[in-house]
Amino acid sequence: MSSTRLYCIIKTFLNYGLDDMVPKKMLPWYAKLGRYSLFWLRNKHKNKALAQRFRLAIEDLGPVFIKFGQMLSTRRDLLPADFADELALLQDQVTPFDGELAKQLIIEAMGIDVFEQHFRDFDSTPLASASIAQVHTATLIEGDAPQQKTQKIVIKVLRPNISKTILADIKVMSRFAALVARWLPDGKRLRPVEVVAEYKKTILDELDLNREGANAIQLKRNFEQGSEYDKVLYVPEIFSEYSHRNVLVMERIYGIGVAEIDTLKSLGVDMKLLAERGVAVFFTQVFRDSFFHADMHPGNVFVNADNPADPTWIAIDYGIVGTLNREDKRYLAENFVAFFNRDYRKVAQLHVDSGWVPASTCVDEFEFAIRTVCEPIFNKPLAEISFGQVLVNLFNTARRFNMEVQPQLVLLQKTLLYIEGLGRQLYPQLDLWQTAKPFLENWVKEQMGVKAIFTKVKDSLPFWNEKLPEIPDLIYDYLKAGRENHQQQKQLFEQMNRQQQANNQRLIYSVLAASFVIGSALLLNQHNMVFTGISASAAAVFTVLAFNK
């Protein structure tokens, strides 16, 4: 990180008065002196709220900080509401880099001039430009005439040298995070160092477009199973043979941005059905597939409105995905069901059983804390209850009881907040709980009922089919080992018994020897020395015998 960039960041922060985030009384004298020494860097936005200044500063600092602000906006469990609301306004509109440079990067990645053989109609003006990559349209040509096939595609290209820029900016972020953790009154609770580390992992994953392509292929396969839910989400085809670490080629999709509410309504789209299908898409990914798109903000979600009465969702940008193991899924589903049944005791016990809070947690106290925070929610009509806010409340309460951060649950919370926001934007009367509860209850029943047992047995059959011929040998080896172990134990017992007998004999001889010594001492005062010498000699003999046994 150059000193110029560091100075630029400090200048931006001070010009927006972000030093106000740290109370003056918390600063040591040398920090105050350092601030006064930069007297020319004054707060130029005193008329704006602190949360707004924070968001504007991040916008000025460029793509990497904008992406960080977007991620941070989802951590409502860590941020005050006004900061989270401001950061949610960040838009991922970044000045594009030169289209001819993008074309050259594609050729270098492919190793051949692919535009001579496979790509036609490349548009050097990007279709979209984001903080990490930009997207260009083209036509893919495959095969030879007359069976030549054409396909409209988009080519996603990473910004040149973006990895170096990101790593350098993250290094500065880490330094600032350490300062915030040390000097901000709420620094320890906000855990800025851990947040920056989480961001680093997330954004570095996004820098490998092969990884994003694999995620898209997995998601597409999951939604081609033929169930009633699978027709509601379309995932574009990925052309892996043309994709590389910094280039991703995929089918071009045509849809309406999910945020274009007026357009959707003008086309007569069934908004209620579309909103409910959004909920179904989310819970299908989470509870059926354990693999969910974790970045479903409005810029990554479109609607196919060719049939307004039967609208479907289209998702793009698969750089961030989340997974849940079987235990997390079960506990999460049971938590939701228990919460909406107001069974706070079960909610508390589930958190302990899952290991999300320490086993030493007092369940009674935890139950009371959950009830205190969550019960007021039910003063509202059920349709107005925020599913995402339920998660926030649960996690915030659990954190007071030393709940460890669960990365998979953070992604889940973020995605649920996105989906809920989109659903209620499309159809404000959406009763998210009424839509989700049957899905959750059916899932729990399937996981714990007769069907679940049959499924587990069926899944285990190949393993037992392989191991069945080995069972007689395993039984024989076990019995043989048991018999040998028994013989060893018997020998060991006999050896211990002999040792104990020897120890007893030593003890008897030692007692006799001690008696003779004491007797000799007494006779010394009453009889002659000859008799005493005999007694002492006898005692010595007994002593030698005792210790030689």
At 419-472, the pLDDT tens digits run: 877 887 888 877 777 777 777 777 777 766 666 666 667 766 776 677 677 777
Task: Give the pLDDT score at 179.
Answer: 76
Span 471-525, pLDDT tens digits: 777 787 777 776 767 777 667 767 777 776 766 666 666 656 556 555 565 555 5
The pLDDT of residue 371 is above 60? yes
In the predicted structure, residue 152 carries a pLDDT above the cut 90: yes
How high is the pLDDT of residue 136?
Answer: 95
pLDDT at 183 over 70: no
Determine the pLDDT at residue 311. Answer: 92
pLDDT at 244: 92
The active-site residue, picked from 295, 317, 473, 477, is 295
Residue 541 pLDDT class (50, 70, 90 cuts): very low
> What pLDDT does residue 533 have?
47
Half-sphere exposure of 522 (CA within 13 A, CB side): 6
* pLDDT over 80 at 315, yes or no: yes
Q: Residue with structure tokens 């926001």?
A: 421
- The Cα–Cα gap between 76 and 233 comes to 28
User: What pTM does this model have?
Assistant: 0.68
What pLDDT sits at residue 547? 43
Q: CA separation (Å) from 264 to 303, 410, 430?
A: 9, 31, 17
- Which tens digit of pLDDT belongs to each residue from 277-294? 888 888 888 888 889 998
| Beta carbons of 276 and 284 less than 8 angstroms apart | no
Region 61-88: what's the mean pLDDT? Answer: 73
pLDDT of res. 105: 93
Q: What pLDDT was estimated at residue 38?
A: 66
Check residue 284 and give its pLDDT: 85
477 given a catalytic annotation: no
Say if residue 528's pLDDT is above 60: no
pLDDT number for residue 531 = 44
| CB proximity list for 429: less than 8 A, separation 6 or greater | 272, 383
Q: At what angle do helices 63-73 and 50-61 cross, to 10 degrees?
A: 140
